[in-house]
Amino acid sequence: MNEFLSSINDQKLQADLLPMKIAFIVTGFIFLAFLVWAVLRTQWKNFRFIFDLTEFLSYRAYGYSRVTRQWERIKSRLQTPNEAEYKLALMEADDILGNILLRIGFTQLTLAERLKNVTEAIIPNIQEVAQAHAVRNNIVHDPDYHLTLEQARKTLGVYEDAFRALDLI
């Protein structure tokens, strides 16, 4: 045992191992730099810390203020006499709902598929939302589809009820 310990303390052995020590130290710094870069570059830190901190301090879901601003902009589109604005408002509301359901964890490709998997426990007026989505599909697929202000208000009311059920507005 004493021979082993004395061989470790040998100056020649330590000098021979110096390049290997330097290589390991440099490799360690490279891995540390990559780890710091990966944490700063990816969204992991947002999902892990910032979202939770924001939700904890505001008592609201992350993105609440953004959805509220978007909803106000959608409602302001109904103040114009332009039918194209009504259609755009419905499409934007449908898009917001699709993104919200995606963030909740419904990973199907289309909103129609996501709505099939949503239960009334999540969105109580799910049948009306499906009908509102059908109106949106009519707008998108039929360029001659006419939408009145009353229809737009009624359909946006369905989306508003869904957003309220999700505690977003």
CA-closest candidate to residue 123, choices 111, 131, 115: 115
Asked if residue 86 and residue 34 are part of one domain, the reply reads no
Asked if residue 33 and residue 89 are part of one domain, the reply reads no
DSSP conformational letter for 5: H
pLDDT of residue 61: 63
Average pLDDT, the chain: 84
CB of 97 within 8 A of CB of 162?
A: yes
In a domain, 58, yes or no: no
0.85 exceeded by pTM: no
CB of 137 within 8 A of CB of 131?
A: no
Asked if residue 87 and residue 20 are part of one domain, the reply reads no
In a domain, 53, yes or no: no
Asked if residue 139 and residue 69 are part of one domain, the reply reads yes
The list of the chain residues with pLDDT below 70 reads 1-2, 4-9, 45-47, 54-55, 58-64
Instruction: Please give the residue range of the domain that contains residue 156.
Output: 63-165
Question: Would the CA dihedral through 78, 82, 83, 87 be positive or negative?
Answer: negative
105-133 per-position pLDDT tens digit = 888 888 888 888 888 888 888 899 999 99
**Lookup: tokens for 132:** 């509102």
CB of 152 within 8 A of CB of 78?
A: yes
